[in-house]
Structure formats: C-alpha cells, structure tokens
C-alpha cells in the first residue's frame, strides 16, 4: 500500500513501498548489505561488491539520461534509492550519493566526449567514484580557502594542492575536483582517476563513524589535467554550471536523512513493545518522529519533482532550508532512538549508537549545519552568496 502525506501547500504526495522503488533493491539490501553493516561500521569494510551489484540493477542510473546509459528516472528516484540503503546504513547511503554526485556533474558538463565515455559505466556501477566538492562549496561561501590551484598550460591545466577528504575513491575509482585559477572567477572542475599521474591518495585516519567509505586525502603535485578531462571551465561557464547543479546535488543528501529517521522511528516502536510504560516519559515519541518524517519526505519528493521540471536554479533557498531541517531532524531522531533503547543501544553491535554517529555526519558533511545557516542568513541579506 502506498503511504500518503499532505505537503504544506495541500498537495497530496504518494510514497512508494520500499519494494517498488527498484526491482531487486530490497532483496539486494537484505542479502548483501544488512548482514555487513557492523563490519562496515566497526571494521571500516568498504561495500564494493554491494555497490557493483546495486549499479547492475539500475541503482545509480536515475539521474543520467537514457542516451548516456542511465534510466532518466530523475532526482526523486535517486533520493529514494539512497533512502532505502540508508534505512540500513548511512555510510553506504553516502557512497551512493557520491556516485550520483559524480555523474550529476558530468551530466551537466559541455564535454560530450567525456560524458559518452564515462557516464554509461558509472550509471551501471561498472566504475565507481565520488566528489571532492566540499572545499569548492566552502570556499565559494567564504568558509575556507580553496585548496587546489590550477594554472593553464599547453593542452590543459597543472593542478597543485590537497583535498583533505574524498570518499568512495581508490586507485580504480574516479572523482571530480575544483580548483581556482588566478584572474578568473569561479572554479575549474576536472574529472580525475584515482591513479592519475601526480596524484597521491593518502588514506584518512580512522573516523568514529562512516569509516567504511574509502575516504582519502588527495594530494596533487604538478598533476596535468588534459582539456579532455575538464568538466567545466572557470568564469561564466562555471557560474551557469553551478546554478544548474547546486540544488539537486544538495537535495540528494536528503536520502541519507530520510532513511536514517525512518530506521530510528522503527527502533523506537520496537522498543515500545516491551518498554512503552517508561519510554512514554521521553520528550520525543515514535509518533512525533514519524509525523515529522512524513512531512520531510513529502517536502523532499515534491521539491525533487520541481527541480526535475524547472532546473536547480529557482530552488536553491528551498533546498538549503530543507537540507538544514533534514540534518536537525536526523539528530533529533537518533537521539530519541538512543534514549528509547537505553543500555542495549550502547552495545557496539547495536544500531542505536551507530545511528547517532551517522546522524552527526549528516549534520556535518558539506553543506554542514553551520554552513547552511550561514548561507541562508546571507541570502536573507543579499541573494546568492555563492554559486557552487
Ligand atoms: C567521513 C567523512 C567523509 C567525507 N567525505 C567527503 C567527500 O567525499 N568529499 C568531500 O568533498 N568532503 C568530504 N568530507 C568533508 C566534509 O564534507 C566536511 O567538509 C568536513 O567534515 C569539514 O567540515 P566542517 O564543517 O567541520 O569544516 P570546518 O569547521 O571548516 O573544519 C574542518 C577542520 O578539520 C580539519 N581537518 C581537515 N582535514 C583534516 C584531516 N585530514 N585530519 C584532521 N583534521 C582535518 C581542518 O584543519 C579544520 O580544523 C568528508 C568528511 C568526513 C568526516
């Protein structure tokens, strides 16, 4: 049965059953992801096989047009896939987001040759990868300095600098990076393989959560980026590119939050079967979290449809506000689940404490809570603090 929710403007939004998002998805998650979540969380196991299998059933194809080997089912569908995986594991949900983010920049690139060559393999999960755009987004908003610099040379660009964290990568993976160019506005965006000459991948120190994400620091030392690997040039091309890509890139992250919040509400309801007599004294109850989830889900799906229809540019502010609310609700839900589960939730193999660490990631990954609040505050004063 479909679930219905009413969006704030009274539009009725239909939620699909988990089983109807993508044929084989629920079965794949149950067989290949659910049994591995503790290994991913505690032992930093990277779910490479699951990712390839997910790609093979169309789990990465939604935002890539059919002419480039995707399914073209759209942003909402991509969010739903991330949401389903995140009901079990946000670390894996983040990897799926990274795979979509990588393709999304290519989809919006004018480099047709690169798109034709790479998108079909990325859409089907034959090749995997991520995005090093956190520093670009933060530098565009005046939060930190741009860490990569590009200099024009014959046939391409010379890249120098270090990105401290890029996930879902390795020597066989791909990612895109953004670099400043002296005298130009905006950024040069490039598409880079993990074994690119002049690039060194340095494994990150261990994280307290999200440790199975294959996260590396990327050091560029006179790394030559040929023009054939340029996704977007600085200046006017970048301004238009950023306007086209921004909302969808960020709204996609809502899949992680929706999946996590759903899982937290389910945990609270299970706990209430034996402990409702005492759980009922807690501030946030399962019904409160579920009601907020239905609203957030309805708002996310409706916004995704609007972005698919009209493009990213008109919806940046709505997206930032919803993404902020999604991070806050994730923290609230995980906190409530932990308090419901009590000491049991404190065990290393119990999902409640993992959900808490995952929720903090949703709130701190770029755009982080403080970043979102800064950008929204600046938008109130002057429109478009930054494009990326
Ligand atoms: C598990 C994980 C995965 C991530 N994956 C990606 C990704 O795929 N792509 C991407 O672009 N970004 C990624 N990030 C970065 C993330 O999006 C944020 O930009 C980052 O967490 C910093 O945000 P912040 O708001 O805390 O920044 P700030 O408040 O500005 O603070 C960042 C702080 O971290 C410090 N720092 C930087 N690098 C390191 C390091 N290697 N070790 C210790 N301290 C350091 C800085 O000096 C600074 O003090 C990832 C981060 C984590 C934790």
Q: Which two tokens stand for residue 307?
A: 């972005």
**pLDDT band (50, 70, 90) for residue 7:** low
Residue nearest to atom 41 of ligand 1 (CA): 164
Q: Are 8 and 299 in contact (CB under 8 A)?
A: yes
Please give the number of the atom of ligand 1 that sits closest to the Cα of 210. Answer: 1
Check pLDDT > 50 for residue 364. Answer: yes
pLDDT at 13: 63
Query: What confidence score (pLDDT) does residue 6 get?
Result: 54
In contact, 299 and 7? CB cutoff 8 Å: yes
Polymer length of the chain: 388
Q: Would you state the structure tokens that stand for residue 168, as one six-digit string?
A: 């879902």
Q: Give the atom of ligand 1 at the shortest distance from the alpha carbon of 163.
A: 11
Percentage of the chain exceeding pLDDT 90: 93
Return the closest-CA partner of residue 263 out of 169, 366, 351, 162. 351
> What pLDDT score was predicted for residue 314?
96
| Nearest protein CA to atom 1 of ligand 1, as residue | 210
Q: Is the pLDDT of residue 8 over 80?
A: no
Q: How far is the CA of 6 from the centre of ligand 1 (A)?
A: 37
Bridge-based pairing of strands 188-193 and 156-166 is unpaired
Of all protein residues, the one whose alpha carbon is nearest to atom 47 of ligand 1 is: 164
The pLDDT of residue 17: 81
Cα separation, 157 vs 192, in Å, equals 12
Instruction: Tell me the two tokens of residue 123.
Output: 């859409």
CB-based contact 330:364 (threshold 8 Å):
no
Average pLDDT over residues 325-345: 98
pLDDT of residue 1: 39
Predicted confidence (pLDDT) at residue 95 exceeds the cutoff of 70: yes
Q: Report the residue among 175, 206, 366 best suited for mutation to probe ligand 1: largest number of ligand atoms under 8 A from its CB.
A: 366
Give the H or E element holding residue 265. helix 254-279
The atom of ligand 1 lying closest to the CA of 361 is 53
pLDDT of residue 3: 56
Show the tokens assigned to 225. 């980026």
**What mean pLDDT is reported for the chain?**
95
Confidence of residue 2 (pLDDT cuts 50, 70, 90): very low
* Per-residue pLDDT tens digits for 135-163: 999 998 999 999 999 999 999 999 999 99
Residue spans of the domains in the chain: they are 3-127, 131-235, 240-381
pLDDT tens digit sequence for 46-63: 999 999 999 999 999 999
Q: How far is the CA of 175 from the centre of ligand 1 (A)?
A: 16
Residue 383 has pLDDT above 60, yes or no: no
Q: Best mutation site among 163, 164, 201 for ligand 1, i.e. most ligand atoms within 8 A of its Cβ?
A: 164
Atom of ligand 1 nearest to the CA of 137: 11
- Tell me what pLDDT residue 181 has: 97
Q: What is the pLDDT of residue 103?
A: 98
Summarised one tens digit per residue, pLDDT across range 166-225 is 999 999 999 999 999 999 999 999 999 999 999 999 999 999 999 999 999 999 999 999
Do domains 3-127 and 131-235 share one topology? The answer is no
Q: pLDDT tens digits, residue range 270-321? A: 999 999 999 999 999 999 999 999 999 999 999 999 999 999 999 999 999 9
CATH architecture of the domain 131-235 equals Beta Barrel (2.40)
The CA 8 to ligand 1 mean position distance, Å, reads 35
Q: Exposed, middle or buried by CB within 10 Å (0-12, 13-18, 19+), for 378?
A: middle
Homologous superfamily in CATH for domain 240-381: Butyryl-CoA Dehydrogenase, subunit A, domain 3 (1.20.140.10)
Say how far apart CA 318 and CA 140 lie, in whole Å: 19
Atom 44 of ligand 1: nearest residue by CA position: 164
Pairing between β-strand 148-153 and β-strand 156-166 as defined by DSSP bridges: antiparallel
CB-based burial of residue 226 (10 Å sphere; 0-12 exposed, 13-18 middle, 19+ buried)?
Answer: exposed
- The residue whose CA has the least distance to atom 38 of ligand 1 is 164
> Residue range 316-328: average pLDDT?
98
Instruction: Count CA atoms closer than 13 A to 132's CA, side-chain side.
Output: 34
Q: Which helix (H) or strand (E) holds 65?
A: none
Mean pLDDT for 123-130 is 98
Atom of ligand 1 nearest to the CA of 144: 30
CATH number corresponding to 3-127: 1.10.540.10
Name every protein residue with a CB atom under 6 angstroms from any ligand 1 atom. 98, 130-134, 143-144, 164-167, 204, 207, 210, 213, 215, 217, 364-366, 368
Q: What angle do CA 230, 236, 242 make, to 5 degrees?
A: 70
Read off the DSSP letter of residue 23. T
What's the CA-to-centroid distance between 168 and ligand 1, angstroms? Answer: 15
Q: How far does Cα 118 stand from its chain's mean position?
A: 20
**Cβ atoms 106, 118 nearer than 8 A:** yes
Q: Take atom 35 of ligand 1 and give the residue whose Cα is closest.
A: 164
164 CA distance to ligand 1 middle (Å): 7
Cα-Cα-Cα-Cα torsion 378, 136, 242, 370, nearest 10 degrees, comes to: -30
């Amino acid at each position: 049965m479909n679930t219905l929710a009413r969006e704030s403007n009274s539009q009725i939004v239909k939620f699909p059953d988990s089983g109807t998002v993508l044929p084989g998805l629920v079965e794949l998650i149950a067989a290949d992801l659910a049994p591995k979540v503790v290994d991913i969380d505690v032992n930093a196991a990277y779910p490479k096989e699951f990712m390839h299998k997910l790609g093979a059933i169309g789990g990465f194809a939604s935002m890539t047009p059919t002419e480039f080997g995707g399914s073209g089912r759209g942003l909402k569908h991509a969010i739903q896939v991330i949401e389903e995986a995140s009901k079990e594991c946000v670390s894996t949900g983040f990897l799926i987001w990274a795979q979509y983010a990588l393709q999304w920049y290519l989809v919006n690139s004018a480099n047709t040759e690169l798109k034709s060559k790479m998108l079909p393999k990325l859409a089907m999960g034959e090749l995997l990868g991520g995005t090093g755009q956190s520093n670009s987004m933060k530098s565009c908003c005046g939060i930190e300095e741009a860490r990569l610099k590009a200099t024009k040379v014959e046939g391409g660009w010379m890249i120098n600098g270090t990105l401290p964290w890029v996930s879902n990568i390795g020597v066989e993976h791909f990612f895109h990076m953004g670099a400043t160019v002296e005298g130009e506005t905006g950024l040069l965006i490039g598409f880079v393989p993990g074994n690119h000459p002049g690039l060194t991948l340095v494994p990150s120190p261990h994280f307290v959560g999200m440790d199975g994400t294959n996260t590396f620091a990327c050091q560029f030392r006179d790394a030559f980026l040929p023009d054939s690997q340029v996704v977007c040039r600085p200046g006017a091309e970048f301004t238009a590119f950023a306007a086209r890509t921004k909302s969808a890139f960020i709204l996609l992250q809502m899949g992680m939050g929706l999946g996590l919040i759903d899982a937290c509400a389910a945990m609270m309801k299970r706990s209430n079967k034996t402990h409702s007599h005492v759980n009922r004294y807690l501030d946030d109850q399962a019904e409160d979290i579920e009601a907020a989830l239905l609203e957030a889900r309805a708002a996310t799906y409706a916004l995704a449809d609007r972005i698919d229809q009209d493009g990213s540019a008109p919806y940046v502010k709505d997206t930032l506000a919803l993404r902020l609310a999604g991070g806050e609700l994730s923290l609230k839900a995980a906190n409530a689940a932990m308090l419901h589960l009590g000491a049991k939730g404190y065990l290393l193999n119990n999902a409640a404490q993992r959900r808490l660490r995952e929720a903090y990631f949703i709130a701190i990954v770029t755009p982080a809570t403080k970043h979102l609040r800064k950008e929204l505050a600046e938008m109130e004063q002057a429109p478009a603090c930054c494009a990326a």
